[in-house]
A and B are shown apart, each in its own frame.
Chain A
């Protein structure tokens, strides 16, 4: 087991998340893609924490913080999607252009 394996898995997961974030049109799927991105970052932090900082595991502490922020982000993001759905009657990302020039 090497550090590089975990970093490669995290990079692949990050790229999949970016692809989903850009291409998906359902707003909830965009939120799921953001969760994928945060998890890829978490895998990176945990791998570095285990292989480079094994005794004082600060990467795990950061991972716990990232999990906390991700939970808050999911709650607020779903509330925003729900509010937009109630006002605009759609979840299509292409129609959420209130702030577009």
Chain B
């Protein structure tokens, strides 16, 4: 029978915490930028301009049709480094972190855009008419009436997507970035306690995701709109 040896883990906790910070940074940036960009894409997709709408639809289709690993590699090999070199030729930016931020933000934006589009469309025409009847412009109707209601309805879906994103962030190992999972894997290789580190990392992901899922369930019960 396999004899577990957990002794390497306490000494690795500071490294794992550093990795967790990277994971949380990627998750947070991707959520914030993804939702902002996703909102713009969703609004553009619902616009009356057929060209803009088609472009927004193409963006969503493109990113939702490609595996995230491939997006990360594209951003690393072809997109981010040349742009950064062009924009900031003398900078010492952490390129891998920047690649992770941008790849996740652009990738998640396509998923958030679909959630937000559905949320916007769930608001009744009567609400839109009531806002227009008060003299609001289309922009004001969207900003003051539709989006605030839509976001309340979307919170559970947005958080569920955030949980998926948190888990998917472990894929950054393909661009050589040491997030929580990457650090755990490195420590596992260097200490020889592979099973223990993978189990420990899995337990951390499980606890965090279960906690977030519980919050989502509670929110679903409380959101009445």
Q: Are both chains from one complex?
A: no
B residues in contact (CB < 8 Å) with A: none
Interface set of A (CB-CB < 8 Å, partner B): none
